[in-house]
A and B are shown apart, each in its own frame.
Chain A
Amino acid sequence: MKHGLSNLFRHRVLIQSLVARELKARYRGSVGGYLWSFLNPLLLLLVYTIVFTTVFTPPRAEGADVDPYTVFLFCGLLPWTWFSASLTDATNSLIAGGNLIKKLIFPAEILPIVSVLANGVHYLLGLPVYLIAWFIFKPAGFSVHVLWLPMVIFTQMILSLGLGLILAALTVHFRDIRDILANTLTLWFFLTPIIYSRAFIQGLADAEDATWVPKVVARVLDLNPMTHIMDGYHLSIFEGSLVNWKRLPVTLGAAFLLLIVAYWFFDRLRDSFPEEV
């Protein structure tokens, strides 16, 4: 593990170059170039605004602040895109980068790491679009608690790295993971407070006449690390309040633990990669 970390540190320039290459290659040949990193979320924002103001209005609950809904939705959708794209790319990364693993002396873990980081940069590029929209449509929410955002982002990054490493290593041996993941992510999306807030479900579960359904759902949500990360985004850069000081650090700790296990797992399978990709 320690050796692995120092190895990664040694390769930081390489990671940096590969992330840059990933971003460059993505927009190479397009006229808009990096502009698309801003345009994409902007257009998405536009579409959701139209859908959720004119086509249909989402249900509301006591104590759940989701107004304006488009901005709320957007707050969770951007990091979710980072999360799901990271896992999808990381899953494919070893197979796509087979040339490197097979033919160069190359620490394979760099590939899933680059997947997570490159998508993270995309998120960061889209973030200003969100912050501006937030500032315009919900000026009341803007507060100093926006400073918690880096911690939320960091937690998500650690979680994504851990999952990415495990998925990447497994996919080399079981290509089925790619299809399983695509479906799992759809389910996971709805089991994460993105189109609704955590407080909304909590409110339903805490209500006096609550059936067992919202209680179970609330329970499941609590076990989902992405719930607390999303909650972190919602609190810090939508409501503008303090992030949950228990849930978020616990999630971060769990994510770290996962990353350590993931790295160990990846390391054990490492030698099999050149022959299998």
Chain B
Amino acid sequence: MVAPVVRVDNVVKQYRKAAHAHRFLTLKSAIVGGNLFKALAPSEVFTALDGVSLDIAPGETLGVIGSNGAGKSTLLKIIAGTTKPTTGEVTVDGKISALIELGAGFHPEITGRENVFINGIMLGLTRREVADRFDSIVSFAELEDFIDAPVKNYSSGMYMRLGFSIAIHIDPDVLLIDEVLAVGDEAFVHKCLDKIAEFKRRGKTILLVSHGLESVRRLCDRVIWIKDGSIEASGDPPRVIDAYLEWVALKEEGELAAGYERRSAAAEIGTAADAPGASGRGPGAGQSEAADGGESAPAAGAGALDGAGEPPGGDAASEDAPYESGRWGSQQVLIEEVRLLDAEGAQHYVFTCGDPMTIELTLEAKEEINDFAVGIGVFNADGVCCYGTNTDIERFEAAKLHGTATVRMEIPALNLIEGTYYLDLAVHRIDGYPYDYQRGLTRFRTTSPIADTGIARLPHRWSFAGGIEWKKTGGTGTDGSKT
């Protein structure tokens, strides 16, 4: 086993949490008591890293993933040496360059040229080395025309580009990268990625902190997932990234489920309070305005008119629904329960694009009804209807609805691109008069390993012939009927 280039040994990092309102007191007591260092010791602390140990082998590209505030950047800063660990030890063997804060040392008043020299020297080059690399630095940053202008006149993109260019021209043994691939335009990002790939080819050690899981998957040999200050998982990129995504999905499900509970509870109160009036005044308004099917804007207006949707509507809309959400109807039939199920029949709020999903409704009819239809509409976060259908459109002829009933709509492949979706769920008369109309109360998310755009993923398959070659073939692996 080769000796590691970077060794992080049981590192703990704590930050002081309390504000310094009581500080002057401590200065006094520090002077009187004679121990300033003790007085400056943190009183209330936040543990950003909690016993992290890590070895990075020479030539390894290590990805660091984790949610915001998990401690990724702290770890990077500690390896870079800009922050000292509270306890534990870090050893780095070789020259290190950190793409953490680009252009951190620039002085706005002096020219780009002078800043290149000073920044280069700050980052550990000699004057001679900077001079040798100067042209390359400037041309990489694409700043030939502006290098003699004061840096204060640079755009933020120019500033970042110059910072990045200097940092990579340090020619480090260990390169630390923290979410900086977002500098400049597409073309510059590609140049940066190429440069990173070149470092990798030359056997340099790279530590990449990123939320761009795709680039982590592509570039890294190993991935660690940091959660709440400790390493949750480490190893093979796909495995760790999947574990991380699963955790994210679970967390989101928890939030979505909690949101649904809140919203439907709020909606229920409105409906119950309004129940006596709804059968008298409400239906008339609902009938006239919602006659076109009950899924368009007037229906929402009807909801507001009959009062059932009003208080919950305002409540839920203030949360994050893109359009007026709420619940209204005559309540002769109630949608008692909504369940989103995966292939195994387990309830979820987060689905992977292309996986099957079943929408299961439990209906409760207060009386026997023979004029009814069940409708489902899917809206995206922009309020665009992605798909809508009901039993009537699909030529089911209603016969009888009584007691408790279950309606299941099975979607074999949920080909919606990554995003948050809202469901319109309704039981209404064929003419659109609503028994129970729930708008936007049920939410779910889809996630996708690829970043395709639009609304729905059209089932597709690539095929090639003739003079076209690929180093590696990707594709979504979906053809509409996942097997």
Contact = CB atoms under 8 A, between A and B. Distances in A.
A21 B107 contact: yes
B250 to A, nearest CB: 33
A174 B82 contact: no
A47 interface: no
Contacts of A102: 82, 101, 104
A1 interface: no
A174 B110 contact: no
B101 A103 contact: yes
Contacts of A53: none
A17 B121 contact: yes
Query: Most B CB atoms within 10 A — which of A13, A176, A269, A274?
Result: A13
A103 B16 CA distance: 19
A132 interface: no
Interface residues of B, number: 31
Interface stretch (B122-130, B184-192, B355-363): B122-130
Main secondary structure of the interface of A (DSSP, over half): helix
B109 A28 contact: yes
Contact of A104 (B27, B82, B110): B82
Interface in B36-83: 37, 40, 80-83
Nearest to A26: B109
Query: Most A CB atoms within 10 A — which of B27, B80, B98, B105?
Result: B105
B40 A14 contact: no
A21 B109 CA distance: 9
Interface in A97-146: 99-106
B107 A25 contact: yes
A173 B40 contact: yes
Given A100-B122, A176-B24, A105 B80 contact: yes
A244 interface: no
Interface string A9-23: 000011001100100
Interface residues on A, range: 20 to 34
A29 interface: yes
A179 interface: no
A101 B126 CA distance: 20
Query: Most B CB atoms within 10 A — which of A28, A100, A275?
Result: A28
Contacts of B82: 101-106, 274
A29 B104 contact: no
B89 to A, nearest CB: 14
Nearest to A173: B40
B207 to A, nearest CB: 15
A173 B23 contact: yes
Interface string B139-180: 000000000001000000000000000000000000000000
A271 B82 CA distance: 9
Query: Most A CB atoms within 10 A — which of B27, B80, B82, B127?
Result: B82
A100 B105 contact: yes
Nearest to A24: B110
A211 interface: no
Contacts of B110: 21, 24-25, 28
B15 A17 contact: no
Contacts of B117: 17
Interface in A51-102: 99-102
B114 A21 contact: yes
Contact of A18 (B40, B101, B118, B127): B118
Contact of B121 (A14, A25, A28, A173): A14
16 contacts: A13-B126, A18-B118, A29-B109, A102-B82, A102-B101, A103-B104, A103-B105, A104-B104, A105-B124, A173-B23, A174-B24, A269-B40, A271-B84, A274-B83, A274-B84, A275-B15
Interface of A: 13-14, 17-18, 21, 24-25, 28-29, 99-106, 173-174, 176, 268-269, 271-272, 274-275
3 residue pairs, one from A and one from B, having the closest CB atoms: A103-B104, A103-B101, A25-B109
Given A21-B107, A174-B24, A274-B84, 5 more contacts: A17-B117, A29-B109, A103-B104, A104-B82, A104-B101
